[in-house]
Chain A
Amino acid sequence: MSVVDQEINRVSLVKDNLDFQQLTDLVAKPSETKTPKWWFIALAVSLSGILLLKSMLAYLFWEGVGIWGLNNPVGWGYAIVNFVFWVGIGHAGTLISAILFLFRQDWRTGINRFAEAMTIFAVICALIFPGVHIGRQWLAYWLFPLPNSMAMWPNFRSPLLWDVFAVSTYFTVSLLFWYVGLIPDLATFRDRAKTALKSKIYGIFALGWRGANRHWQHYEKAYLLLAALATPLVLSVHSIVSFDFAVSQLPGWHTTIFPPYFVAGAVFSGFAMVVTLMVLTRELFGMKQVMTLHHLECMNKIILVTGMMVGYAYGMEFFMAWYSVYEYESFAFINRATGPYAWAYWIMVSCNVISPQLFWFKKCRTSIPIMFVVSIFVNIGMWFERFVITVTSLHRDFLPSSWDYYSPTWVDVATFVGSFGLFFTLFLLFLKFLPIVAIAEVKMILPQANPHHGDNHEH
């Protein structure tokens, strides 16, 4: 299906023209060779993060959301901020796998597996928060339209319910997408397995894949269709997340620009996170030949573009606030930039709008340290964007009498930190036990994969 057009002369996406076997070996290496010490250390750290998260949630279930910093005007705080933050990160994977796939961006093959994995783990982290941020966590299942003896049904007019459907659908589809991509590579691992246990486990998940072309035919069709489905999905998910805010009445939330603005932001943060992780992985696992500098550069370009989109949105909000001649709206935004939370706003702006500008220069785009730092900045900035939207809009709304200031408690912070523990634990396990590069797909884009490869030489 997808193929390198020889006509367009592109940078080779795999360095030192590896042949099929070398490529397989390269990708299989981490799971077959002895695990490096740093991995265990990292895992230990991440696991303690999970422990922290667990204990914070236990405390939360026991005491109630009062242990967080929320108050009367500010009903949503860290939990929702973290939710949107993680969901946002979870957009890069599907975007790379689906949209770039449809656009025939072959460079995606080097990184899509990796990005999809990150997506799924990010969405898992995200899914924690809506579940636990409610007052009576043990009733969270009431959000789903489950037939029950009380004949109660959810309210389908609520954006929060749309959210439940959007995010859970997104998670399911991403998972399927990821798994379908994994099947041939799992088969590879199965066939390379040294121990009976390994080959059994990989074998079970490989579903007895044997690379038959009659399978490949349906498989590729399926992959294409999934990509076609995931593309509108990935756009819809963050749009619907943005509805949580946009459909409300609150000045600063009630904005039509939110859906595109949120999607751009999501891609922005997602790509930043991919870069952060990729820079590390390719170093630590010697994947430089597959995850080339060219890949990173392409990513940085997208970061630059989406960064500008987000910046545009920031500006547009202020314009609309002024243009609407609606005092409450104008106040909300002036308050953002100059009010008690101005610090958060300016952190957001400098991280999201200013720092990516470096990527105008190829030097910065291709310098590992710079892109690493910028990507971290973007991650921070995007977290603050959600903080600014959620908290600053709430803390000063219509009636000055109810204005108040929100500050998180240590529990808020610890829970957020803990969610990173979960994320990195899953990620480390993925790095160790699964093919971090889509072997079959990368092979497809090798020159010798082209049936006419031989022919060229004959001419």
Chain B
Amino acid sequence: MSINLKNKDVNLKSEVFGVLAEFESPSALIKAAEKVRDQGYQYFDVFSPFPIHGMDDAMGLKPSKLPWIVFLGGAFGLSFGFGLQTWVSTTAYKLVISGKPLFSYQAFIPVTFELMVLFSAFATVFGMFALNRLPQHYHPLFTVDSFSKVTSHGFFLMIESHSDNFECSEVQRELKSYGAHNIEIVKDCL
């Protein structure tokens, strides 16, 4: 993705999307995150090759809502599974099998369980995608060359321009003071 964007003509109308700062280490990043949080920028994010322990608190993120989505998925799977079997065996396709009653729930448990797991799994994965707005093949960050490090050994922090009292130069200065060694202005090229 980012490669294509690099080739794009950067002179077309583009506005500042945010300020990106690179840091040395996870610890540096986490400290910076705390400061930024205290500064009250609501639209900022940190980027790292792996999740950093404690970063959520440092950024002051609320716990994920994903578990609830999964619960719903599981609940649906369970009731769907049991319902399907009950309906099929007692209503849709009534057959006397091995002298068992039509509603032989004992035999329905395994399939019910499997369907519950299946639907919870779907809920988990696609719920996660939804919350993360993935797939998202275009993002202004991909225009920044140095950002490609992020999936290997780069630690970044970005404050987005639509945060309240965002002032580009001010933000750059602050970030420098947090120990960022390389600061870039991210432009949205679309």
Say yes or no: B92 contacts A219, CB within 8 Å.
no
Q: How far is the CB of A305 from chain B (nearest CB, A)?
A: 26
Q: How far, in angstroms, from A448 to B125 measured CA to CA in the complex?
A: 30
Q: How far, in angstroms, from A450 to B55 measured CA to CA in the complex?
A: 11
Q: How far is the CB of A76 from chain B (nearest CB, A)?
A: 20
* Smallest Cβ-Cβ distance to B86: which chain A residue: A156
0/1 string, B88-104, CB within 8 A of A gives 1: 11001101011010001
Say yes or no: B153 contacts A156, CB within 8 Å.
no
0/1 string, B136-150, CB within 8 A of A gives 1: 111101100001111
- Say if the beta carbon of B52 comes within 8 Å of chain A: yes
Say yes or no: A219 contacts B51, CB within 8 Å.
yes
Residues of A within 8 A of B59 (CB): 213-214
Say yes or no: A217 contacts B26, CB within 8 Å.
no
Say yes or no: A207 contacts B136, CB within 8 Å.
yes
Q: How far, in angstroms, from A236 to B117 measured CA to CA in the complex?
A: 10
- Say if the beta carbon of A390 comes within 8 Å of chain B: no
- Say if the beta carbon of A165 comes within 8 Å of chain B: yes
* Smallest Cβ-Cβ distance to A170: which chain B residue: B114
- Say if the beta carbon of B17 comes within 8 Å of chain A: no
Residues of A within 8 A of B149 (CB): 191
- Say if the beta carbon of A21 comes within 8 Å of chain B: yes
Q: How far, in angstroms, from A440 to B4 measured CA to CA in the complex?
A: 26
- Please report whether the interface of chain A is mostly helix, strand, loop or mixed according to DSSP: helix
State which residues 423-459 of A face B: CB under 8 Å: 439-441, 443-444, 448-455
Q: How far is the CB of A14 from chain B (nearest CB, A)?
A: 13
* A219-B104 CB under 8 A given contacts A162-B110, A208-B137, A451-B54: no
Say yes or no: A213 contacts B152, CB within 8 Å.
no
* A208-B134 CB under 8 A given contacts A161-B111, A213-B46, A222-B128: yes
Interface size on A, residues (CB 8 A): 74
- Say if the beta carbon of A229 comes within 8 Å of chain B: yes
Binds B, one of A180-188, A337-345, A375-383: A180-188
Query: Interface size for chain B: under 10, 10 to 19, 20 to 34, or 35 or more residues?
Result: 35 or more
- Say if the beta carbon of B10 comes within 8 Å of chain A: no
Say yes or no: A217 contacts B64, CB within 8 Å.
yes
Say yes or no: B108 contacts A444, CB within 8 Å.
no
Residues of A within 8 A of B111 (CB): 156, 161-162, 165
* A222-B117 CB under 8 A given contacts A157-B98, A454-B27: no
- Say if the beta carbon of A104 comes within 8 Å of chain B: no
* Smallest Cβ-Cβ distance to B153: which chain A residue: A20
- Say if the beta carbon of B190 comes within 8 Å of chain A: no
Residues of A within 8 A of B49 (CB): 20, 24, 184, 188, 211, 439-440, 443
Residues of B within 8 A of A172 (CB): 118, 121
Say yes or no: B27 contacts A451, CB within 8 Å.
yes
Q: How far is the CB of A123 from chain B (nearest CB, A)?
A: 14
Residues of A within 8 A of B41 (CB): none
Say yes or no: B117 contacts A169, CB within 8 Å.
yes
- Say if the beta carbon of A139 comes within 8 Å of chain B: no
* Smallest Cβ-Cβ distance to B74: which chain A residue: A229
Say yes or no: B139 contacts A236, CB within 8 Å.
no
18 A-B residue pairings within 8 Å (CB atoms): A20-B49, A21-B152, A157-B98, A165-B111, A176-B121, A184-B49, A184-B151, A196-B3, A208-B135, A208-B139, A213-B52, A213-B55, A215-B134, A216-B50, A448-B25, A451-B54, A452-B27, A454-B25
Given contacts A213-B45, A455-B27, 13 further A-B contacts (CB under 8 A): A21-B153, A145-B88, A166-B110, A184-B50, A192-B152, A208-B135, A213-B51, A214-B61, A216-B48, A229-B70, A229-B124, A448-B25, A450-B26
- Interface residues, chain B, CB within 8 Å of chain A? 1-4, 25-28, 30, 33, 45-56, 59, 61, 64, 66-67, 70, 84-85, 88-89, 92-93, 95, 97-98, 100, 104, 107-108, 110-111, 113-115, 117-118, 120-122, 124-125, 127-129, 131-132, 134-139, 141-142, 147-153
